[in-house]
Amino acid sequence: MKYEMIIGLETHVELATASKIFCGCPTAFGGAPNTHCCPVCTGEPGSLPVLNKKVLQYAVRAGLATNCEIARTTHMDRKNYVYPDLPKAYQISQFDEPICKNGRIVLENGRTIGITRIHMEEDAGKLVHEGNYTYVDYNRGGVPLIEIVSEPDLRSIEEVREYIETLQLIFRHIGVSDCRMQEGSMRCDVNISLRRFGEEKFGTRAEIKNMNSISFIEKAIAYEYARQAELLDNGEKVVQETRRFNESDGTTESMRGKEDAQDYRYFREPDILQIDIEEAFIEEIRAGLPELPPAKKKRYTEVLSVPATEASILVKYKNVADFFDAAVAAGASAKNVCNLIIGQIFRGFNTEEEKERFALPIRPAHLAELVILLDSGKITANIAKQTLEKMLSSGRSCMDFLSASDLASVDNSEVDKLCRESIAANPRAVADYLAGKEAALKALLGYVMKATRGKANATDVEEKLKNLVSGQ
């Protein structure tokens, strides 16, 4: 590879407010076309915008969670351009005084990705192309957005994926957005240029607009790298332009040329007053921030001894992490709660959306009650799994399904006797194990577990069998 990729992202995130940024229209996804709009969000003459305070709170919350400086004075601007999805011919956004600036995201490899700014703005409507006609749906117009502009610090497809997924994790955990790219609540513009390794000057960049899938972003970057590298190899120049990604064949194509400074004729929005932010307002929001995903994962691995892979899965879904924390706080072991969530409960979900919702008929205390019995050895792992299935199908407590027989443990002397019987009855398995075949021990273990109808502790039995066989 001759060239180094220089990548920066402009990430648009819809905020999870109940109403739009400058009016009271609902922000709910879907709905019949043009039913979630009013004179304000369609820019009709005489209508006046009023800033939704919740949007300001969420923007500050996002800035604090991404290590940004919060502006004490900020304002809204008009960004002027003509397009059918923007009926008033300008977008209310922010230009020279964004609400947040100078933030950062730290990747797993230790590299820091700078965040230039986060600013508030309104979304535009949606164009629907059908046959020879184009229809406009203004339901999305006026939905509140924050735009997160990164520094050109990303150097690979893998880093881009991690950066986007980290933003998703953070914003979901702090409750400012669901970041569902498939619904358009998170979209990225990708800026990419190439330079030879060792050079300091950036190459000429191309911008790929409105990417709403991490998979498509990866394919677009790979294609764009190959396209620009071929041009440079042939002594040709890369043209600065805006391009679109074609989902059908994984290519990008030119939409329009782009100058260094596009003339949007920004000027201060005259209908919205300057916003002065007090320190107490910022500190109140800071105090309300939950434990952030990187800190949560570190706690899971270092304090609760959850393996890193499983910790990443738990943290990926806010509702799952909250459920896990509540069950552990109720006295259950982190290890067994984690195993039952990932190893069993997740098997009942077919989609990422189901895992995100994590809508269970049982409460964390119910799972904790079951796990405490497992932790204490009063029930086996098999009984715990069987009981959990019944709990999930009924929403009832584990004690509604556990009999006195289920809770009766197997006497140690009986386990000793059965282990010796298993060794005597399976000489071939013993020989194979002694010859180095670890899997052969499963036959010996199976004998004991069958004899105790699964009530013996499998881990203890396996250890006892190893000691007995090794001592022969």
Are 434 and 399 contained in the same domain? no
In a domain, 447, yes or no: yes
C-alpha to C-alpha distance for 444 and 419, rounded to whole angstroms? 8
Q: What is the pLDDT of residues 381-421, one digit of tens each?
A: 888 998 999 999 999 999 888 875 566 556 677 778 888 88
In a domain, 461, yes or no: yes
Token pair of 404 as six digits: 């006195």
In a domain, 263, yes or no: yes
- 3-state DSSP call for residue 275? strand
Are 314 and 456 contained in the same domain? no
String of b and e for 32-44 (b: at least 16 CB within 10 Å)?
A: eeeebbbebbbbe
Torsion, CA 146, CA 19, CA 273, CA 77, rounded to 10: 40
Give the structural domain span for 335: 291-407
DSSP string, 1-70: --EEEEEEEEEEEE---SB-SSSS-B--S--STTSS--TTTTT-TT------HHHHHHHHHHHHHTTPEE
What pLDDT score does 1 carry? 64
How many CA atoms, within 13 angstroms, populate the side-chain half-sphere of residue 471? 8
How large is the average pLDDT for residues 196-217? 92
Q: What is the pLDDT of residues 12-60, one digit of tens each?
A: 999 999 999 999 999 988 889 999 999 998 989 999 999 999 999 999 9
Domain termination site, one of 263, 281, 299: 281
- Beta bridge partner(s), residue 194: 5
How large is the average pLDDT for residues 75-99? 94
Element containing residue 153 per DSSP (H, E): none
What pLDDT score does 155 carry? 96
- Looking up tokens 């990604």 gives 245
- Tell me if 228 sits within 8 A of 252, measured CB to CB: no
What pLDDT score does 448 carry? 82
Rg (CA), the chain: 29
- CATH number for the domain harbouring residue 464: 1.10.10.410
What pLDDT score does 259 carry? 54
Token pair of 52 as six digits: 């939704």
417 vs 115, more confident: 115
Domain termination site, one of 364, 390, 407: 407
Are 431 and 337 contained in the same domain? no
Are 373 and 390 contained in the same domain? yes
- Beta bridge partner(s), residue 13: 146, 186
pLDDT above 70 for 156 = yes
- Tell me if 50 sits within 8 A of 241, measured CB to CB: no
How many CA atoms, within 13 angstroms, populate the side-chain half-sphere of residue 397? 8
- Beta bridge partner(s), residue 154: 7
In a domain, 286, yes or no: no
Burial class (CB in 10 A: 0-12, 13-18, 19+), 63: buried
In a domain, 276, yes or no: yes
Are 270 and 215 contained in the same domain? yes
What pLDDT score does 450 carry? 83
How large is the average pLDDT for residues 110-135? 94
Q: Lowest-pLDDT range, 163-177, 195-209, 258-272?
A: 258-272
Are 419 and 391 contained in the same domain? no
Residue 311: closest CA among 329, 322, 298: 298
Are 155 and 239 contained in the same domain? yes
Element containing residue 207 per DSSP (H, E): strand 206-211
Q: Give me the number of domains the chain comprises.
A: 3
What pLDDT score does 331 carry? 95
Are 65 and 165 contained in the same domain? yes
How large is the average pLDDT for residues 363-374? 94
Residue 425 phi, psi (nearest 5): -85, -10
C-alpha to C-alpha distance for 462 and 472, rounded to whole angstroms? 16
% of the chain residues with pLDDT over 70: 96
In a domain, 113, yes or no: yes
In a domain, 455, yes or no: yes
Are 304 and 357 contained in the same domain? yes
Are 186 and 254 contained in the same domain? yes
Are 84 and 209 contained in the same domain? yes
What pLDDT score does 262 carry? 64
C-alpha to C-alpha distance for 333 and 376, rounded to whole angstroms? 10
C-alpha to C-alpha distance for 71 and 97, rounded to whole angstroms? 8
The model's pTM is 0.84
pLDDT above 90 for 302 = yes
Burial class (CB in 10 A: 0-12, 13-18, 19+), 120: buried
In a domain, 297, yes or no: yes
Domain termination site, one of 252, 281, 310: 281
C-alpha to C-alpha distance for 296 and 318, rounded to whole angstroms? 11
Are 276 and 376 contained in the same domain? no
Contacts 24+ apart (CB under 8 A), 444-447: 444/419, 444/469, 447/418, 447/421, 447/422
- 35, 107, 138 from 43: Cα distances, Å: 15, 41, 11
Q: What is the mean pLDDT of the chain?
A: 91
pLDDT above 80 for 363 = yes
Q: What is the pLDDT of residues 344-356, one digit of tens each?
A: 999 999 998 899 9
